[in-house]
Amino acid sequence: MSKIIDLLQHRQWVWQGSSQVLKSSERISTGIPLLDTKLQGGLPKQGMIEIQADSGIGELQIWLSYLQQHPHLIVFINPPGSVNAHHFYHLGFDHKQLLIIKTDSAIDALWAAEQCLKSSGCGNVLLWHNSLSISQAKRLQLASEQGTSTLFLYRPVCEQQFSLPVSLCLQLTGHPQGIAIQVKKQKGGWPQKSFILSLADYWPQLVVKQGEANNVAVFPMPIRYAK
């Protein structure tokens, strides 16, 4: 049996997905060792990364050390709130690195994402978009390959969605110890079972449950004297 496979392989008549595995040089470390090992060395250098997550569980926070690595432009398209530039600046991002786009229509958002991805000046695009068709995803994927840039697509968790042609698809869910991450799809690799990324190393204050510190003075209540 294996003889036949060897023969077929030798003559290049059979094509194996594992030969398409990206080399480690084409991966960029996320800055989180556990995540790197699960993702074969890090995030792909270019392409589309789909993140299915509910808002507010740290789904942007885990990419910050990755985003800090290069000085390219980071574009936020239709973020769920007002991007706290103060936070990003004091983490070490530059003013000029952040660009925020808010569009009235979903089509404009996709257009803007495509333009940013194509431009060589732009490194990472973060797009919050609920419904994306397969053809639109393919188009964005091509644009990101053209501009060697990465698109982070944030979508809410929904089981009924079509699987999009993306380089990497992660599902994040909140967990008492941190974030539960499930690799649903990755190019050149198998889907991974859910694992828990502990936030203890990154947000040490947030894990151990604390009460109110005992050195807090109570606000003095205003006292009114009757005249």
Partner 1 sequence: MTLWLYLHFKHLQLDSLTLSHKGEPVVIVNGSSNRVVQVCTLAKQSGITVGMGLASAACLSEHLQVVAYDAQAEQTRLQEIAQWLYLATADISLFPPDGILLKVSNMLSLYQDLATYWQHIQAHLSHLELNYHYATGYSALAARLLARGRVDIITDDAALLQSSINGFDLLQTDLSEQICEQLKRVRISKLSQLLCIPVSELAKRFDIELVHYVGRLQGQLKYPLIFYVPEEQFSRHLTLLFELENLQWLTKPMAKLLKQLELFLQQRNKLAQQVLLTLQLRDAEPVSIQVAISSGESRAHAWQSLIELKLSNISLNAPIQAITISADYLLDNQYANNELFQSQQGQSEIPALIAKLQAKLGGRCVQGVAVDSDHRPERAFHFVDPSHAYIKQKRITGLQRPSMLLPEVIPLQEKVTIYFGPERICTGWWDNQAVARDYYIARNEQGKWLWVYKEPSQQWFVQGIFC
Interface with partner 1 by CB under 8 A: which residues? 54-61, 64, 72-73, 79-90, 92, 95-96, 98-104, 108, 111-112, 115-116, 119-122, 173-176, 203, 205-207, 209-213, 216, 219, 221
Output the smallest distance, CB 227 to partner 1, in A: 23
Output the smallest distance, CB 11 to partner 1, in A: 39
Q: Which is nearer to partner 1, 2 or 215 (CB)?
A: 215
Output the smallest distance, CB 201 to partner 1, in A: 15
186 Cβ contact list (under 8 Å, min separation 6): 39, 40, 167, 168, 169, 192
Query: Contacts from 190-195 at CB under 8 Å and sequence distance 24+?
Result: 192/38, 195/34, 195/38
Q: Which is nearer to partner 1, 55 or 133 (CB)?
A: 55
169: its two tokens: 């698809």
Output the smallest distance, CB 208 to partner 1, in A: 8
CA–CA dist 69, 93 (Å, integer): 10
**CB distance 207 to 198 below 8 Å:** yes
**CB distance 174 to 54 below 8 Å:** yes
Q: Which is nearer to partner 1, 21 or 106 (CB)?
A: 106
Output the smallest distance, CB 9 to partner 1, in A: 37
Burial class of residue 211 in the structure, from the number of CB atoms within 10 Å of its CB (0-12 exposed, 13-18 middle, 19+ buried): exposed
Q: Which is nearer to partner 1, 21 or 202 (CB)?
A: 202
Q: Which is nearer to partner 1, 20 or 69 (CB)?
A: 69
